[in-house]
Chains A and B, each alone.
Chain A
């Protein structure tokens, strides 16, 4: 039964937390190199971000980031073990060392950064919470939702944002909270609730994959929260934290400089000093991180730059690359710190 496995996992996580000493701090990279694979915590299935096909192959923005990391660290994008984690399991799994990082639509918040023994290494997707309703209700705006029943998945910032939004707008609602995503979605499409809420990327994915008839539903215009999603690592291992953080920057920098999966080999001859440093032709950026100097080349060869990762995974679920998710040079928030 689902619950039993949850508690079994929590128990294991607890036991691991209890029995492992301080051996972990600062040693994630060593452990990854010794083991020969990156253990990457992903979601249990969100189209565009992390979803397994019938053959068990994972695709998505979050899983591609892990592949890029494996390529940068181990030189082989296939050396990733994906560990699907529910919203409740994710932090315990990371804290206890079951996974090396979370790349699992996790919102960066102060509480999580400061009190859970974790650190957010960057932002790979700027999201915001939205609402989906059946079109025939004739709802135009989220401010009309007073008195509605709202289906929501437990264990997420979504639940808190929802309460905050209705409180702020002096409206009432009744939450119907489910433990897992699939149950909450099917309850909504069954008509148990009039409203479904999650991050807008999640709404688009659900509409694209799960909706019996996507045209019958509308996503309301309001975005009620800021949901910066990105990879998370354990606190106390600064070396690993730095590697993950700078891989995010490297992929963004590559896009800014026009380095793609296809042209990365020819870009090695580029005269642009930034490109030279990024690709390890000059300088020793990779060595400083404790990796090989071709770390970024390996990652880009495996998954491409940030824009390519986005276009390959997120565009197909119907989320055009607008607003914050564009490069800073195009008015977005994707901005890499200088690689020097």
Chain B
């Protein structure tokens, strides 16, 4: 046998691997070149028109007020702090919105599968109506309802002693700040940790002995007991800052503004309709056999739903629901239309005062990107946590 001649090594540009790398490198270079051109040209144009650039403005005095803030802020604070106020306002409405939308969404989703004719129709009506009307219109609707129907602040309705409802929002008493409060908050966190630990212990005990320890009451005790003890130890301060009417509006206490309330209502009801559909789809996607098997084991309908159906449905529900959470966070930017001072509102104002549109928009984009990616990461981690563990 004649051994086959070893083929001459192919030229390097005929190597598939080499060519793939080459193409990708070329594409990358092109992108970088375009990016560099855009940046340098923008800077040159801004320079030529003597438009100020850079992020130096963040440390300068903002000079404008913001309607509501969770941290101390006034007109002499910096632009940077104004941005933080805006970001916190966005996060406040987003996080609360996600929690409430999830609760309502799950309830409505299950209601659509109920055996009660009326409940099914009502849930369907809600979903179809809310899902098919643009969110901005719904926000205007809620805002007009609240500011149009409620009495003016001088004729505010007293709901409870010290609690007033009017066009200016819901005013309610707040505890007068006391040195014991931070410790109460710490005790609350510790209590939550204890309750979590107790839950783990209860599960292990159930697995080991078959006995089911009581869960609800001891958990509540563990969560609220420590702060209560700290409260008693710090002398049981009961002083309340009750809102009192001054010449124009209420002073003191705490308040929820109609802007926040309308935005929250709009976002929650809109997003909940989509989540409800995700939940319904997820539950219906669990094979019927699972339900029948649960029934055959003698589980009641509720227990079967909780222990057999929902855990499996969850895996189907989570990815599309993550999308809805992202939508809710981004839709919160519509706040600007009804006067809620979210990140977009603050950006708009500062953009106008200092004229640095590119920097301001870049900050806003960066913040929304960060919020969205954070939601994605958290939801992906949770998704992995509830994923089917193959044994």
Contact = CB atoms under 8 A, between A and B. Distances in A.
Interface of A: 1-3, 7, 10, 13-14, 17-22, 25, 87-88, 91-92, 95, 111-112, 114-117, 137, 144-149, 154-156, 159-160, 162-164, 166-167, 173-180, 183-184, 187, 190-192, 194-195, 234-236
B343 interface: no
Interface of B: 38, 41-42, 45-46, 48-52, 63-67, 75-76, 134, 136, 144, 147-148, 152-153, 167-168, 246-249, 251, 257-259, 333-334, 336-339, 341, 344-345, 348-349, 351-355, 357-358, 361
Contacts of B259: 176
Contact of B49 (A95, A174, A177): A95
Nearest to A1: B136
Given A3-B336, A147-B246, A149-B168, A87 B51 contact: no
11 contacts: A7-B361, A95-B49, A115-B52, A147-B247, A147-B251, A149-B153, A149-B249, A154-B345, A176-B257, A187-B147, A190-B147
B339 A194 contact: no
Contacts of B48: 22, 25, 236
A159 B49 contact: no
Nearest to B48: A22
Which of A87, A146, A163 is most buried by chain B, counting CB atoms within 10 A of its CB? A163
A14 B67 CA distance: 30
A116 B355 contact: yes
Given A3-B337, A17-B46, A179-B337, A116 B51 contact: yes
Contacts of B144: 190
Contacts of A10: 357, 361
A17 B42 contact: yes
Interface residues of B, dominant DSSP: helix
A173 B46 contact: no
A175 B66 contact: yes
A155 B50 contact: no
Contacts of A14: 42, 357-358, 361
A190 B168 CA distance: 11
A234 to B, nearest CB: 7
Contact of B355 (A19, A91, A166, A234): A91
Nearest to B358: A14
A88 B346 CA distance: 12
A60 B259 CA distance: 34
Contacts of A13: 357
A176 B355 contact: no
Contacts of A2: 136, 337
B344 A159 contact: no
A144 B247 contact: yes
Nearest to A11: B361
Contacts of A18: 38, 41-42, 45
A191 B249 CA distance: 12
A88 B75 contact: no
A92 B336 contact: no
Given A163-B64, A191-B167, A177 B341 contact: yes
B258 A95 contact: no
Contacts of A7: 361
A326 to B, nearest CB: 31
A227 B251 CA distance: 33
Given A147-B251, A183-B338, 17 more contacts: A1-B134, A2-B136, A3-B336, A7-B361, A18-B41, A92-B357, A95-B51, A116-B51, A154-B348, A155-B352, A156-B352, A160-B63, A174-B249, A177-B67, A177-B349, A179-B348, A192-B258
